[in-house]
Structure 1
Amino acid sequence: MARLLDPGSLNVRLMLERPVETPDGQGGATVGFAALATLWARIEPVAARAEEAAGAQRIAVTHRIWLRRRGDLAGGMRLRKGARLFVIHAFRDPDETGRYMLCDCEETRP
């Protein structure tokens, strides 16, 4: 059985954003994000690792973010806390009760 979550621990205010494509006038599109909802959440840091790509070092920080259940979560969405961005890689109902969603996220730089 999954551990129970105290609803009072959802103490961080986040903005849920969805990707929006805008035509660029040349047959392509640019992808931006539009606010979808403001919600309460719990952020749990999981791991940090250093990666090197193209000669530059990048720090990847992963988090588990708990939310109340939503039926409209989809791939490509992200969560925002001020200037911090969390890309949602996967989400699930951790105890299959339909009360909460657990999102596996990676913090990115804007």
Structure 2
Amino acid sequence: MGNALDPGLLNARLVLERPEETPDGQGGVMPGHGAVATVWAFIEPVGAKAGEAAGTLRVAVTHRIRLRWRGDLAGGMRLRKGARLFEIRAFCDPDETGRYLVCDCEEIKP
């Protein structure tokens, strides 16, 4: 797909979420995520890798998600499409023009 992106390809509506903690009522906090914005994106599957952990088979599915540039992306954020969750592992502005971001994500099972 290269660095050029047809804006018409941004056809997946996702919710950008950031980590936040909420009081648990017992003096501690519960980790969670809260919505920051709704964005249009292009989701491109990249690969899948199977591995075994604690006697169970785990499959990691990776995606490249492209969206319009935002200045507020940070570590720990994720994207949601319905029940599907995509942890943002890394992101960059591929042509340094401030038009689009490319996010390398791993789909996680809630």
1:27 is displaced (CA, Å) by 4.8
> Match of 1:44, as an amino acid?
E
Partner of 1:95, secondary structure, is coil
Residue by residue, what CA displacement relative to the aligned partner does 1:17-74 show, whole Å, maximum 9, x if unpaired? Answer: 1111123355542111111100100000001010100000011000000010001101
Instruction: Write the mapping of 1:16-95 to structure 2, written as runs, cut at 5 A.
Output: 16-95=16-95
TM-score, scaled relative to structure 2: 0.93
User: Considering only aligned residues, what root-mean-square deviation do their CA atoms show, in Å?
Assistant: 1.2
> Match of 1:82, as an amino acid?
G
**Range that drifts further, 2-11 or 30-39:** 2-11
> Match of 2:52, as an amino acid?
E
Does residue 1:9 correspond to 2:9, yes or no? yes
State how far apart, in whole Å, the 2-side matches of 1:82 and 1:3 are. Answer: 28
State how far apart, in whole Å, the 2-side matches of 1:99 and 1:55 are. Answer: 44
> Match of 2:99, as an amino acid?
R
> Match of 2:45, as an amino acid?
P
State how far apart, in whole Å, the 2-side matches of 1:62 and 1:46 are. Answer: 5
Runs of 4+ in structure 1 off by over 6 angstroms are none
TM-score, scaled relative to structure 1: 0.93
Partner of 1:98, secondary structure, is coil
> Match of 2:21, as an amino acid?
E
Partner of 1:8, secondary structure, is helix
State how far apart, in whole Å, the 2-side matches of 1:83 and 1:8 are. Answer: 24
> Match of 1:91, as an amino acid?
F
